[in-house]
Amino acid sequence: MKKRSVLLGILCLAMTGCMTAEQHRAAVRNDAGDRLSIAKVQREIRVGMSGAEVVSILGSPNMVTTDSERRETWVYDKVATERAYSSSSGGLFLILGGVGSEAGASSSNQRTITIIIKFNKDNTVRDYSYRQSSF
């Protein structure tokens, strides 16, 4: 019985290093909570807000333009490319004579977001729009 428990313990220790490809994908994914997102715009940007309030929520814009009436338009344009690779291998090389396994995952994702905020002459938001893509 003691021999069986020791063998079971060794087997458990040897298998703890093994991860499935899906577990690797989850491990390399970056879900930073402070990202510029459409949800953030929908939840926090409102018509009538000041430019200072917009900056406190979204940060500084990438581009500022003015129209013929000298009203500003702010453009936030972000592109992010994420690449990650993770792998592991494990097995019972000494106990079972070379039985082992390998798992890994590679991930590449590109995301773009464009937010356009139009201001009145008094520097309050009069309109906003947004676009997002992920591939």
Q: Measure the CA–CA gap between 130 and 125, rounded to whole angstroms.
A: 14
Phi and psi, residue 43, nearest 5°: -80, -35
* Amino acid of residue 13: L
Outline where 1-135 has alpha helix (H).
Answer: 2-15, 21-28, 38-44, 51-58
pLDDT at 85: 72
Chain centroid, CA 42 distance in Å = 18
List of residues 6+ apart from 70 with CB closer than 8 A: 121
* Amino acid of residue 122: D
- For 17-43, write each residue's pLDDT tens digit: 556 556 656 666 555 555 788 899 999
134 confidence band (pLDDT: 50, 70, 90): confident
- For 57-112, write each residue's pLDDT tens digit: 999 999 999 999 999 999 999 998 877 777 766 655 555 555 556 667 777 889 89
Q: Tokens 């900056």 — which residue?
A: 55
53 confidence band (pLDDT: 50, 70, 90): very high
The total number of structural domains that make up the chain: 1
**What's the mean pLDDT in 107-135?**
93
pLDDT at 69: 95
pLDDT at 86: 74
Q: Which residue, among 69, 68, 103, has the nearest Cα to 86 in the 3D structure?
A: 103
- For 67-77, write each residue's pLDDT tens digit: 999 999 999 99
pLDDT at 104: 74
128 is in which domain, residue-wise? 2-134
